[in-house]
Amino acid sequence: MIVELDKNDFHLIQPLLIKDTERDNLLIQAVINGTNRGHIYVDDPAQPRTALVYIVGVMDFFIGDPHNDAFISHLNTFIDNVYKQVNLDTCGGTWMISAVFDEEWEKVLETAFSHRDYDTDYDLYYQLHAEKFHTSNKHAPSLSSEYTLTSLTKEMIEQEQNEELFEDFHDFWSSVDDFIAQGFGMAIIKDGQAISTCYTCFINGSQYEMYAMTLEEEENQGLGTMVSRAYIQHCLNKGISPRWSTHETNESSCKVAEKCGFEFVYKLKTYEFEF
């Protein structure tokens, strides 16, 4: 049996987060604490042994006992009959992207998904090295006069002309007002339009996951690095710990992270397939 856990009971899965990488995972914690959108599915709503944490519009994580037949035996039926529809209803998604924290879960999913046409990747997790950031910032190039660096506003996010830049925004946040109340962002403006931005996508206490996006036609000019550095500096000024994660195959994101003084900490294997 796989059932949805009531949001008031999300804390019941905390004991399943045993490994340091599980407890440290900002996305999972942001859903548990209610900052960000998510659903949690378990084998037993009173005493869960196994859980799937769905981060709306992003990915999901399998935690707990990977050999719990009460959960695993129902997994594919659940995916086809419940998860698929929830994914479509919440964000229009048609893919399942799952991350696991150890080899035991890898074996379980590879068996469970053996009839599916899935791809694998790795999610890379970084931690900021403040000294490296400050050193890189000292030698960072300045924006030319055609660009303006500014704080992200509600008006920028809601402007129709900026729709492409914020296409993933509502996967992270229930509303713009919710974001403004809890997170923040920076943007680079050109000719009155936002062309590059970096903003908070997940929050757990003083830890803020950051998300950077630059319009395709404005890429390869270092704008993503510049706006990310501005975001990081704001974090440090406010006593906030910025976090960065990305897919291993997203080479440009990995390079920006390193240019901003982030250091690789660990990676999780992911499984991805289309419904």
Amino acid letter for position 86: V
Does residue 273 lie within any of the structural domains?
A: no
Inside any domain, residue 152: yes
Q: Are residues 8 and 36 in the same domain?
A: yes
pLDDT at 58: 94
What is the arithmetic mean of pLDDT over 165-177?
93
pLDDT at 138: 75
pLDDT exceeding 70 applies to what percent of the chain?
100
Domain end among 116, 140, 173: 116
- Residue 111 shares a structural domain with residue 246: no
Q: What is the pLDDT of residue 219?
A: 86
Of 87, 116, 145, the one marking the end of a domain is 116
Q: Assess whether 11 and 49 both reside in one domain.
A: yes
Q: Are residues 94 and 177 in the same domain?
A: no
The answer to whether position 216 is within a domain reads: yes
> What's the structural domain count of the chain?
2
- State the virtual CA torsion across 240, 244, 245, 251 in degrees, nearest 10: 170
Residues 131 and 260 in one domain: yes
Residues 73 and 133 in one domain: no
Nearest to 39 by CA among 89, 1, 105: 89
Q: What is the mean pLDDT of residues 129-145?
A: 84
The token pair that represents 11 in the structure block:
């804390």
pLDDT at 136: 81
151 and 59 within one domain: no
pLDDT given for residue 137 in this prediction = 78
Do 52 and 156 have their domain in common? Answer: no
Residues 112 and 175 grouped into a single domain = no
In a shared domain, residues 142 and 237 = yes
Does residue 36 carry a pLDDT above 90?
Answer: yes
pLDDT over 80 (residue 256): yes
pLDDT of residue 143: 82
Residue 159: which CATH number?
3.40.630.30
Q: Are 59 and 202 in contact (CB under 8 A)?
A: no
Residue 192 scores a pLDDT above 90:
no
**pTM (predicted TM-score):** 0.93
| pLDDT at 142 (0 to 100) | 79
Residue 138 belongs to a domain: yes
- What value does the mean pLDDT take over residues 196-200? 97
Is the same domain home to 178 and 253?
Answer: yes
Residues 237 and 146 in one domain: yes
Percent of the chain at pLDDT > 90 equals 88
Q: Which of 79, 105, 51, 59 is nearest to 245 (CA)?
A: 59
**Per-residue pLDDT at 6:** 97
Could you list the residue range(s) of the whole structural domain that residue 204 is in?
Answer: 125-268
Average pLDDT over residues 259-269: 96
Give me the pLDDT at residue 127, please. 96
In this structure, what CATH number is given to the domain that contains residue 107? 3.40.630
**Average pLDDT over every residue of 241-266:** 96
pLDDT value, residue 225: 95
Is residue 72 in some structural domain? yes
Is 32 contained in some domain?
yes
Whether residue 274 lies inside any domain: the answer is no
Tens-digit pLDDT profile for residues 58-70: 999 999 999 999 9
Q: What is the pLDDT of residues 54-109, one digit of tens each?
A: 999 999 999 999 999 999 999 999 999 999 999 999 999 999 999 999 999 999 99
Q: What is the mean pLDDT of residues 177-198?
A: 95
Q: Output the pLDDT for position 274.
A: 96
Last residue of a domain, one of 68, 96, 116: 116
What is the b/e burial string over 100-131, where b = at least 16 CB atoms within 10 angstroms of the residue's CB? bbeeebbebbeebbeeeebeebebbbbebeee
* Average pLDDT across the chain, whole number: 95
Q: Residue 141: what pLDDT?
A: 73
- Residue 69 in any domain: the answer is yes
